[in-house]
Amino acid sequence: METKAILSHIDHTQLKPFATWEDINQLCQEAIEFETASVCVPQSYIKRIKDHYPTLNICTVVGFPLGYNSTASKVQEIKDALADGANEIDMVVNISDVKNKDYDKVTKEIKTLKEACGDHILKVIIETCYLDEEEKIAMCESVTKGGGDYIKTSTGFGTGGATMEDVLLFKEHIGPDVKIKAAGGVSSVEDLIAFIEAGCDRIGTSSAVKMLKGQMTDGEY
């Protein structure tokens, strides 16, 4: 797979709580140079990024990383993020609602947040490391019914990240309009290729550019 094609699927990510502007600025410069799908950053940096890099596709997180914020607060986060210049939103479901089997409530929240996003992309993080298979399948249904554009495996702050098993389970149970984003623990070029070939449209990682810098040629990896 060509390196450029791999990078076009990457949400180049920096979500550490101690990320400095120097870190974020480097992330943005790399995203532009290597043409990643987006940068995924804390909300507090959106406006500054937009001012410095007006054409950059900016993704941010909502209800992150635990998901138990109220729906109203998540809606306000989305409104603020879009007003500052974000283009894509990665939200975290209320994991307690999932564990309580209150799937209709989760679906309703996703639908409400998608309405707040409008034409902007909404990715729904279900944090697979805390869920059993029944709950993961239920989340595929909730994301589909709620109108989410993507189902996303993980925040990267839980006890585990993306697995091929979960990606294949998603493919079996999501609706035709839902795409897949793998995130958390994607730590090798082989992983990147495997997830893309398995059907992931996006991969969230902070290390893809670093891993691929030595492969910036016209050939395949």
Tell me the whole-structure pTM to 2 decimals.
0.96
Whether the Cβ atoms of residue 56 and residue 32 lie closer than 8 Å to each other? yes
Q: What is the pLDDT of residue 218?
A: 45
Distance of alpha carbon 59 from alpha carbon 101, whole angstroms: 29
Spell out the domain ranges in the chain: 3-213
Q: How far apart are CA 92 and CA 64, in angstroms?
A: 6
Active-site residue flag, 90: yes
In the CATH hierarchy, which fold is given to the domain comprising 3-213? TIM Barrel (3.20.20)
Q: Looking at the predicted structure, is the pLDDT value of residue 145 above 80?
A: yes
Q: Which of 11, 74, 84, 90 is catalytic?
A: 90
Q: What is the pLDDT of residue 215?
A: 62
- pLDDT of 214 reads 66
Q: Buried (b) or exposed (e) across 56-94, using 16+ Cβ within 10 A?
A: bbbbbbbbbeebebebeebbebbeebbebbbbbbbbbbb
Span 166-189, pLDDT tens digits = 999 999 999 999 999 999 999 899
Q: What share of the chain is helix, strand, coil (3-state, %, to 5)?
A: 50, 15, 35
User: Helix/strand/coil (H, E, C) string of 8-36?
Assistant: CCEEEECCCCCCCHHHHHHHHHHHHHHCC
Residue 218 annotated in active site: no
Q: Is the pLDDT of residue 6 over 60?
A: yes
Q: Which of 11, 84, 152, 191 is catalytic?
A: 152
Give Cβ neighbours of residue 99 (< 8 Å, ≥ 6 apart).
Answer: 130, 131, 135
Q: Is 152 a catalytic residue?
A: yes
Confidence at residue 187, expressed as pLDDT on a 0 to 100 scale: 87
Q: Is 216 strand, coil or helix?
A: coil
Give pLDDT tens digits for 32-56. Answer: 999 999 999 999 999 999 999 999 9
Reported as a pLDDT band with limits 50, 70 and 90, residue 122 is: very high
Q: Give per-residue pLDDT as tens, 68-90.
A: 999 999 999 999 999 999 999 99
User: Residue 219 above 80 pLDDT?
Assistant: no
- Give the burial class of 123: count Cβ atoms within 10 A of its Cβ; 0-12 exposed, 13-18 middle, 19 or more buried: buried
Q: Give backbone dihedrals phi and psi of 202, rounded to 5 degrees, phi first.
A: -135, 150
114, 166, 181, 191: the active-site residue: 181
